[in-house]
Chain A
């Protein structure tokens, strides 16, 4: 695999790539988690029910 190693060596500082990538993701993940934890329950309960609005559909007896 000499040839492939050659790439690695010829892109300066390529070894930092996976590390940077992981750090970016981890920071991103923490940010999203933090945002989610801060959200209030009343809000969540309301928006989570958007899909189950019964006004949009026929009576349940109709369902397959």
Chain B
């Protein structure tokens, strides 16, 4: 046996550590701003760059991809080198990975603030950034895999399986969901439309939670809990069952985000069944993490690290119990579109991701800087402030969610909606929004305290950029006694990765393939026609302003919804929607039948004009941001022909050569609206953005009430 000396790269760990802390604070601050905006619309600052519709994607992207993303890389680059007894494969790849990822984050923040968005939740970034993400992700994978190949340890520890699964699945998710047709450098349309787009999006969205927010963090859990408690993992066997059943089941559960929508019933049922089954591996993993601390609970009292880790794993257990419950159709009927979902998500992000990151940081920073933590007291204070922050966040949101649901669904004895005005509910839960903002604010303050504590710790220590280590080189070709099939697999990273890929692809194929076959099965509604050029531009404004963050376009088949909004939504109505805009939350009312003149929610053009200019002038209690720039800005129509051609490529049946006629048609339709507004005493011109948006809103949901064109009747 040969003993070798080599050097761990601690500098890259330090880099990702700084990035995690800094972006964490930025992401949380954006969250606090978004929370304040929902309580007090004045915090939208009447600027397009700072309205809620743009701040919310900045918050979610920063929290997920910047904070947790850098947290993942920090943990992976630290633990993997030690678990494999090897320096990272290539320093060039490591630093390329680091700097390009930070570049992506900066580009993301800038483009989202400027309104460049694909309009798909958690995948808002436009196509050039999508490509950059794919490239950087492959660099990460290459570096990781290279390290695995040159390891000195025979077997891959469980944490590394989770890292591998993260890499392989996120690659698949990102590529499939980001298939889009570029129109310009910063504008693209999703390749998929309507029902298919929704299914692909939530297959992605759900599994981004699974494979970006969960699997890598489970890997961290399997490394840092044993480290911090100095106990081996409770059951290695359980971790194997945990890993494979997690991988297999999670991928199926996406459709539970689309219960009672126009998604086919079988896909909804499949999503529900697999979501319930998901409870088993999730809790298996949680118990494995908590039981690792058996005999070490006395340490939890002293150690801030362990406190954070224990609460993180407990929050994971709570969120993964709640998830399957929310996937039951009868529970989902109540919870969906309300703040309940927001509460659920934040138990996961603030509790599981946030606290696990904090726990790892408190353990790792002193290790990397070869010193003691500056103040254990401050760390413990952070723990209690953070916990209080989570409670102040979650409890009001659960309360708000239930209130919304009960008020939306209540009928009077005469059979009428008890609260027909949507705003009544908003007004009722507004105090909860104040409390949530307070919860978020103190959670952020706790993180600031951590920043100071870790800063001071770093200042008194010194990083050993290339830390010397020695290890016996094991013969990775020869198996260990008693390794059996899985032990063999743990020596074979390529086979391991292929098997993981197959495991996630089974669910993917079974779920997605029929949905694509559906294309021929979606009952075409003959009267559903492509958007006019004016409406298409209006729709792009709707996307740009992130209206989907607060408004759904999906009326579920419940009496409480059809009474409030009108006829329930049909799959065939969305066939030209690239991307779909069903939304996932109703901070404001549903807009699926907004344009139906004889409908329940119709508003005249002049109302929309005034409402966009100043919602509070029309409804004192409204929390909608003001959009004055829509009134004053002229639309940029230079891309209109290209947009029409792109839509044609995607299969939207505009007549051939329509791109040349589109501008004329645009003005013709705009003229009518301008004339109508004039009659209502409003002076404007046909070039204004507001005209296009009004045209789009007035088109919503109207198709099924029209007669099909003569040419299509047979």
Is the pair B265, A1 in contact by a Cβ cutoff of 8 Å?
Answer: yes
Residues of A within 8 A of B248 (CB): 25, 28-29
Is the pair A51, B273 in contact by a Cβ cutoff of 8 Å?
Answer: no
- Of the candidates B155, B226, B482, the one whose C-beta lies within 8 Å of that of A42 is B482
Is the pair B277, A48 in contact by a Cβ cutoff of 8 Å?
Answer: no
Bound-state Cα–Cα, A58 to B228, Å: 12
Is the pair B521, A11 in contact by a Cβ cutoff of 8 Å?
Answer: yes
User: Within the complex, what minimum Cβ distance (angstroms) separates A15 from chain B?
Assistant: 8
Is the pair A46, B523 in contact by a Cβ cutoff of 8 Å?
Answer: no
Is the pair A40, B482 in contact by a Cβ cutoff of 8 Å?
Answer: yes
Is the pair B232, A52 in contact by a Cβ cutoff of 8 Å?
Answer: yes
Residues of A within 8 A of B510 (CB): 17, 20-21
User: Within the complex, what minimum Cβ distance (angstroms) separates B357 from chain A?
Assistant: 14
Is the pair A39, B487 in contact by a Cβ cutoff of 8 Å?
Answer: yes
Bound-state Cα–Cα, A43 to B521, Å: 53
Is the pair B155, A47 in contact by a Cβ cutoff of 8 Å?
Answer: yes
* Chain A residue with the shortest CB-CB distance to B485: A35
Mark interface residues in B501-528 (1 if CB within 8 Å of A CB, else 0): 0010011001000100110011100000
- Given A44-B236, A55-B469, A50:B153 Cβ within 8 A: yes
- Of the candidates B233, B269, B373, B521, the one whose C-beta lies within 8 Å of that of A48 is B233
- Of the candidates A37, A40, A58, the one whose C-beta lies within 8 Å of that of B367 is A58
> Does B706 reach chain A (CB closer than 8 Å)?
no
User: On chain B, which size bracket covers the interface?
Assistant: 35 or more
Is the pair A11, B518 in contact by a Cβ cutoff of 8 Å?
Answer: yes
> Does B114 reach chain A (CB closer than 8 Å)?
no
Bound-state Cα–Cα, A47 to B239, Å: 12
Is the pair A51, B232 in contact by a Cβ cutoff of 8 Å?
Answer: yes
Is the pair A51, B240 in contact by a Cβ cutoff of 8 Å?
Answer: no
* Chain A residue with the shortest CB-CB distance to B453: A64
Residues of A within 8 A of B265 (CB): 1, 4-5, 7-8
- Of the candidates A4, A43, A50, the one whose C-beta lies within 8 Å of that of B480 is A43
Residues of A within 8 A of B521 (CB): 6-7, 10-11
Is the pair A51, B244 in contact by a Cβ cutoff of 8 Å?
Answer: no
Is the pair A64, B305 in contact by a Cβ cutoff of 8 Å?
Answer: yes
Is the pair A3, B571 in contact by a Cβ cutoff of 8 Å?
Answer: yes
- Given A6-B523, A39-B487, A51-B227, A64:B363 Cβ within 8 A: yes
- Of the candidates B231, B304, B514, the one whose C-beta lies within 8 Å of that of A14 is B514
> Does B301 reach chain A (CB closer than 8 Å)?
no
Mark interface residues in B363-377 (1 if CB within 8 Å of A CB, else 0): 100110011110010
Bound-state Cα–Cα, A59 to B79, Å: 17
Is the pair B228, A17 in contact by a Cβ cutoff of 8 Å?
Answer: no
User: Within the complex, what minimum Cβ distance (angstroms) separates A55 from chain B?
Assistant: 7
Residues of A within 8 A of B438 (CB): none
Bound-state Cα–Cα, A40 to B481, Å: 8
- Of the candidates A17, A24, A43, A52, the one whose C-beta lies within 8 Å of that of B226 is A52
User: Within the complex, what minimum Cβ distance (angstroms) separates B329 from chain A?
Assistant: 12
Mark interface residues in B466-484 (1 if CB within 8 Å of A CB, else 0): 0001100000000011111
16 contacts between A and B (CB under 8 A): A6-B521, A11-B264, A18-B269, A29-B245, A36-B241, A39-B237, A39-B482, A43-B484, A46-B480, A47-B157, A52-B231, A52-B232, A58-B367, A62-B371, A63-B363, A64-B362
Beyond the given A21-B507, A51-B223, A52-B227, please list 8 additional residue pairs across the A-B interface where CB-CB is below 8 A: A6-B523, A8-B265, A11-B264, A17-B514, A39-B486, A42-B482, A62-B371, A64-B363
Which 7 pairs of residues, A with B, have the shortest CB-CB distance? Answer: A40-B482, A51-B226, A43-B482, A48-B236, A50-B157, A7-B264, A64-B373
